[in-house]
Structure 1
Amino acid sequence: MKKPVLCIVTPALADANNGNWQTARRWAQMLSGHYRVRLAQRWPDDDPAAVDTDILLALHARRSAASVAAWAQTHPGRPLVLVLTGTDLYRDIATDASAQRSLALAQRLIVLQDQGLLALPEALRGKARVVFQSSTPRRTLPKTTAQLRVLMVGHLREEKSPQTLWEAARLLRPDEGIRIDHIGDALDPALGEAARQCMRDCPHYRWLGGLAHARTRERIQRAHLLVHPSRMEGGAHVIMEAALSGTPVLASRIAGNVGMLGSDYGGYFPAGDAAALAALLRQGRNDIASGGAWLAALQAQCAARATRFEPAAERAALLSLLGELRHSP
């Protein structure tokens, strides 16, 4: 029997090196045993296989809105799945007509963490499913006790709130034994210049620019703490990668982060509160000098959540949802 053709529409392809691309690539690999999977930036595209597509799975309600509308017009009744990946869930669907139309046209909606359902209009929650993303586990590496090694992974753009990290770095003295590394491309040139200025002002802060995914994961393994100060987030890859590496997280208390780490997690700070973040970093530095009990407790909480981020669970959730659609009238 021929495998059905699944087209995954992602606004970002490999050159973007962002969460949407990582999601699309991983799902294509996971589903390839059951579907003939194509990746495209839009539907339809120039590939002749576009006309034979059986299922469309589109990432991002606003940025894939044209593909969603074209599919609904030309393939009425065929399965259409919309994945809400971040800014669309927590901003666009409240104000953008094209994003709202995508929600209405899709037969199923996917959110990437369990607080995501609450951001949807109540009438649409019945067709929504939670699919936690996954990654491969990494062994937990021994950490130095000479200093606290802190890492932020996030491109330089407003939604990631790198300003919170820079302000926290300025509140810390260079001699406090806290070293902050920051990985991410400068998607906003002004933020790139701000990162360079922070390096000039704060010798304990380094902006490393964009790094390959494998090198980034190695740095996550070596850090005592991953800092994730976003003000808007759909379900951050880097949080799950830290949890699967034995590296605890300090995260802004926003819905997208709480949906990943749980409401009772002990490593939150108020979004945008650099003083609170700096205080937690000092707590971490003092903790490694006195036995590491606090960091160990955060690590244990992350490890408990990491069971949700296993590839088998993600694959089973996707296959269940797609099977549901294929066998529904």
Structure 2
Amino acid sequence: MLKELSKYNNLGTPSYFYDFFSLINKDKKITEQEIKEYFFNKTIDNRQVFDGCIPLLKILDIINIDEIQKTISINPLYKETITSFDIFKENILESFLSKYQKDSDFYKIFIDYTFEKLYSKTILINASAFKLKYMNIKRFLIDFNFLIHHPNESYYLINKIYIKLFNKYILAQISNDKENQEIDINDKEEEAPKVFISYSWDDENHKGWVLNLANKLAENGVDPIFDRYELQPGSNAPYFMEKALRDADKVLIIFTENYQTKAMGRKGGVGYEYSILNAEICKNITDNKKYIPILRSGSMQTSIPPFMQQFISIYMIDNSQYNGQIKEILHCIFDKPLIPKPKIGEKPDYVK
């Protein structure tokens, strides 16, 4: 079954399918040829070839094509999901997994998965498992955010929001390995803290420094919410920021001169993030433990907005102290003081 898809270059992206369904909703009598002409030479998600999109939708029974008039209609079960991009995207992904769950070629791709505790009970898939033959399948799963990039380029992560789908449609089919067991994403005992990193794209050196910081956190039991892991062309950046700030257990704010300029002027992504986190901190200003200021360059006056200057910052300007600074951040993230308060002993006899 999966082999029939290997001949296509592109199986489709969420943005393509959303445009596709919107077009059909506007014109109930549109034909397959008219669809192909409409998308001819169009660039969507940096792609121009959409040869496998209509065949895939037919295989998944999402669309029907009238044999006589050649007009395309949407399966009624999917019509209601088109108003919500996220629901519609997840439904297509689930239809794909459901269709191919018993295909031996498909689940063999995942049979040698690795269970990685450092990434909050996330599954690692070897990048070489797809081989050249099924590169279009890998691209499809990445486009739909089922697979996300691992800091180690030899692997992909199964997106945690889709672990239930992985359990239901893929893990259940891998029956030969007796050690396989469903991953309980509700088990909080070993779940890694989620940490969002707010920073400005000052230059390539700074972007690289923040990326290394995110990788270092991941290596030490933290689940970093980081734009360069998550976002790709077509992603909704404001929604990502809002959700990240809401879902995170902690937020690291990397202050530089440029960050202060953007934050105070409410410019770009930094300005948008700062507006949200500023309001959130005000709700609990006397007992803030979620938002951790980090001074990377400049001084408190030149890099940290006045409102945030009242909070104690971690200074990461001196690169020679990097390991100690990482240790201090990890203590904050895991709510473990660097200097534990000793237990209160008994009053000495001479003052009794």
Q: Under a length normalisation based on structure 1, what TM-score does the superposition of the two structures give?
A: 0.31
- Higher percent of residues as strand: 1
With a CA cutoff of 8 Å and minimum separation of 6, indicate the structure with the bigger relative contact order: 1
Q: Under a length normalisation based on structure 2, what TM-score does the superposition of the two structures give?
A: 0.29
Q: Which has the larger radius of gyration?
A: 2
